[in-house]
Structure 1
């Protein structure tokens, strides 16, 4: 290996500079994980070469035995991790090692807390494992050559973890990548073969690629005769001559695909470490399921639920999915065809016996085998979550806090599993004095009042707005629980989840809310009497408001507020209108229903106002107040303020 070109100096991406500073100052509480990350990356490079070689065997260059080699040099205080995998070109090495090729890095840095243990878990969510090398090294050298290119196309990357890195062309006889860590003075413990071997067996035993280390050289020995003392006791046994045994590379891991082993033979720690390998996450998974399916379609699945959401989980366009193997040969990362988008947080792998080795994404798209596997894996994940939700509510709450908003996409996306997904949903409600979403639809139905035949909910921009909505007043009075929905996706959710367990979901902000079957005859008579008494006032208000409203009516839902606006059953909800407007969609015109509380003193005062001009101003103020409470904004707030000030001044005269 020799240098053949001039060095090029490159500046790191800004986010990488910040990240390296964190690494250099020992962000990780457990330093030894640097080796786990680099060995995992090397194993991935081997997997990718094996797949590429399915269509071009020449990429093996006569050496089809893939491996990762780890070695230490105490004299020079270095550790080297080498692989004979796919390798990198000059452009690839600059792209992969000079930037964090993901969006959202600013969010990543905003989440850092200064707590080393917590922040080290966060790093894993951002997929930047290579940079962990700088935990123990003050300089890193990477030498690589892509499979199938000339030896003269090798490239060397070097950095001291500061503001820049250099690249240069080198001669590299063998394909693959060598990473040389120049250890810091206080990290010499890692320049020890025994220490490195213990880390490999601890973290990388499950990797299907052989991880090799050098066995020590055994020197030659000459023949030595037996020696005895005067009493005939042997003082030195005879030694037969033997040749020197050179140092050899030997596998130090099991090098067996973990998912092919029997579940009973795999420890919990092995499952956890394998998750970290396939997901590049640093935290342990929340739960997992290892399953072998036999019959019409044969496959093995190992599915994990992470304990923390990745920073870009809400980006539906980002590639997601499972690692795909066919007959234990790696085919692709992020095979999204096997997991629906609303379960994009699920990590793991599939190994199928029923797909061709040269499978492509296009073939997967229309394959009946793919559809069968997707259906099976989806049901398995939903059952995993349902079981946790029933048996371990505390753990399920942690899961929901991380992934609940994504799971809410399910009813719209997966009609076939709508009921199963609905069982997993959790909401805040008037039954709890907290924004925590911990009420299931099943629990809600169990607590329904006698005569109640619907699941009531209210959607608002925030928990506080939902909790204080005037629509809830009569429900609180009657002790009827209402679900409080305030996530951005909630309006989309309830537009597709219209019923559960035979019970219709009903928005309390809709005009069609009917609680008559939960009222006694006395209450019904009182309501009818009010409607008769205020009939002329209602007509007068409708005339004053004109086409601003669809209808004015006496409310049966208010106890404290003077008025409220509600949406007609066949109109788009206010929250959906706001959602469409926020993404630039045209919102169809519709008028709300204006309901007044005939027993409120302000409404009585307005009803007694004989001056038509002043009456119209009061009605406008009531309507705009109700609109402000419901929508959170007005089209013309300045006019509202001026009108309100004028009326208040008139009351002082």
Structure 2
């Protein structure tokens, strides 16, 4: 495509094209709904339309640069990539042109006419009803093109994908109602968008106003954003400077500039562009690394989670550049999965320009860059945790569960990650995850040598667990782990700062020096006295439990269930079953409280076979329910309870 040099070529590209194969197609229902939202609900933030269209144009240029590495003929002798914006006051139109990658007919239908690529369904699930907040979701969900209808009552888009012949251009047009037209046309490479402005949008015909908006939202775009300039004449009317184009934005790679030259506002604006998130980031780090590997990193911590954070198959990651040439979006090999929330740019001075996703796998240079970036991100988090508690609390609420995955994924940094973890505990009095392992160690009893924790389905269930009773009695803090990932965490994080992490619901209770000799002697005597009852229960419940034993972890409950020290926890078994996975059959251990009146009643009924069996099953079922389990025979449980109630009321 020949360079665009004059204002008249703009109009020529749009108006003087030959069209064939015109057809009318309907929007999907979700797209119709989205268009109505754009037109009627987001009007107070109408400036965002230009931000979104320019961002899309910038992405199209990046994609062309990447594909042209292997196919340089895609440039069609026009490698000076740019975005151009012009107004036609008479026609009341605003025209935006880029000479980026462009779109094919199928891509136009997929990206604009249907839900396949737009993300509109997920977008609607995240809507809050607050127009300003909802406007900020637009870029994140890839639905920014539709924002054009905030200010336009008709949009005409003409595009051709690089590599296709000029005759395979596509013209798309819609009034933002229920359908759009599509036709094949001659077109230059790239995308031309003409906005037919609504009545009352005259300020958008003011070039000075447009420049204001560009500098506010898009100054950081590395592509030059150009607007036409009028010819300059002298007093005699002689032209001293022909009409041309001026660059409105700074059009430089922000990350390549010195930190001292970049304001916080510029850093924030660049984050909003690179992350498609129009709230401010929590923090960022910007550094140039020199040595065996030379690269620049500009990495951000978002303030809120993206909609697909927990979709591990979705591509997440930073943008990779090589010597300021865009290579790929979402370069996930440059950041581990547990840091998939990080956004930003990595610009290498050493990698080849033709690096592919396959070459990123197992590449030593990439591994070195990745390790350096991970250290920078962890250092950012450590700084927030130590010096900006409010910001770290925000981070933890949004991304804490994801960071926990790093305990099992990143052995080299496990200790650093462990120090950043936060949990609820019996000490806090609420379900806020604010307790670090260091906090816990600082509150340990002098004679305590273990870190105690309990996993459960919820904070309420954990707090009500009978396994906590002896710890409350002795004033020993227990961490309450209720995130689904916590079972994974505790299977990999078995000690911290020399102290073992021990589940209060697994294995025999060992309080070590927290128990004195008189307590141990009393426990031994209770075990001997209760041996006949233990034997009787073992026989009666042999199909249900692996073992019955006396416990001293209970002070209020008659019984509880535990598993062997190295067995799968009951909590994990329930999660796996709920996910439809096969779980190995394992019987729990029933522990009874020798001081509880119900257990003493049970002991007294040993000579009555039927009554004893009913009470034994009731005690087991109650213990199962207390820890969130499901009864295998609910009807049998109800029948036994009813019989017991009738007996007591007789």
TM-score range, shorter chain: over 0.9
Q: Hey, what's the Cα distance between the residues in 2 that align with 1:264 and 1:99?
A: 45
2:443 maps to 1:447: yes
Matched, 1:169 2:184: yes
**If the length of structure 2 is used for normalisation, what is the TM-score?**
0.94
Is the 1:127–1:281 contact (alpha carbons within 8 Å) kept by the matching residues of 2? no
Q: In structure 1, what is the Cα distance between the partners aligned to 2:151 and 2:414?
A: 50
2:309 corresponds to 1:294: no
For residues 310 and 599 of structure 2, the distance between their equivalents in structure 1, rounded to whole angstroms, comes to 46
- Kindly report which structure 2 residues correspond to 1:198-597, keeping only aligned pairs within 5 A, or say none: 198-218=212-232, 221-222=235-236, 242-243=238-239, 245-597=241-593
The structure 1 residue matched to 2:608, chosen from 607, 611, 620, is 611
CA distance in 2, matches of 1:202, 1:248: 23
Residue pair 1:90, 1:155 contacting (<8 A) in 2 also: yes
Q: CA deviation at 1:244?
A: 6.5
SS in 2 for 1:198: helix
2-side partners of 1:103 and 1:84: how far apart? 22
Q: 1:164, 1:104 → 2: CA distance?
A: 19
Distance 1:152 1:433 in 2: 70
Q: 2:51 is matched with which residue: 17, 20, 36?
A: 36
Residue range with higher mean Cα deviation, 143-152 or 367-376: 143-152
Q: 2:130 aligns with which of 115, 135, 158?
A: 115
- Equivalent-residue separation in structure 2 for 1:220 and 1:100 (angstroms): 55
In 1, distance between residues paired with 2:163 and 2:122? Answer: 39
C-alpha contact (below 8 Å) 2:118/2:142 kept by paired residues: no
- 1:381, CA displacement in angstroms? 0.7
What is the TM-score of this pair, normalised by structure 1? Answer: 0.94
Would you say the 8 A contact 2:34–2:120 is kept in 1?
Answer: no
Task: Give runs of aligned pairs for residues 4-153 of structure 1, distance below 5 A.
Answer: 4-27=19-42, 29-101=44-116, 105-106=120-121, 108-153=123-168
Match of 2:8 in 1: none
- Distance verdict in 2 for CA 1:511–1:489, change over 3 Å: same
Structure 1's 500 and 100: CA in aligned 2 closer, same or farther, altered over 3 A?
farther
CA contact (8 A) 2:155 2:194 kept: yes
Match of 2:12 in 1: none
On the 8 A contact 1:301/1:351 being kept in 2, the answer is yes
Q: What per-residue deviation string (whole Å, max 9, x for no partner) do you get for residues 450-498 of structure 1?
A: 2111111111111111111111111111111111111111112211111
In 1, Cα distance between the equivalents of 2:554 and 2:326? 63
Per the TM alignment, residue 4 of structure 1 is displaced from its structure 2 partner at its CA by: 1.7
CA contact (8 A) 1:221 1:244 kept: no
**Partner residue in 2 for 1:633:** 630
Query: Are 1:68 and 1:211, in contact at CA under 8 Å, matched by a contact in 2?
Result: yes
Question: Shift of residue 217 of structure 1?
Answer: 3.4
> 2:195 and 2:118 mapped to 1: Cα distance?
28
Query: For structure 1, which runs of at least 5 residues remain unmatched after alignment?
Result: 223-240
| Cα displacement string for residues 580-621 of structure 1 (whole angstroms, at most 9, x for unaligned residues) | 223333211211110111111111111111312111110111
Q: Distance in 2 between matches of 1:254 and 1:169?
A: 36
Q: Write the distance in 2 (CA, Å) between the matches of 1:584 and 1:144.
A: 47
Q: Secondary structure of 1:492's partner?
A: helix
Range 284-293 or range 584-593, more displaced: 584-593
Q: 1:517 & 1:627 partners in 2: Cα distance? A: 30
For the Cα contact (< 8 Å) 1:28–1:120, is it kept in 2?
A: no
| Superposed CA RMSD | 1.7
Q: Select 2:192's aligned residue among 150, 164, 178.
A: 178
Contact 1:100–1:128 (Cα < 8 Å) also in 2: no
Number of aligned positions between the proteins: 634
Deviation at 1:322, TM superposition (A): 1.2
CA distance in 2, matches of 1:315, 1:110: 16
Question: How far apart are the structure 2 equivalents of 1:44 and 1:274?
Answer: 14
1:86-139 CA-to-partner distances (Å, cap 9, x unmatched) read 111111111111234469754542442222222223334323222221222222
* C-alpha distance in 1 between matches for 2:285 and 2:198: 41
Cα deviation per residue 1:41-63 (whole Å; 9 max; x = unaligned)? 11111121122222222111111
Distance, in Å, in 2 between the alignment partners of 1:502 and 1:120 is 50
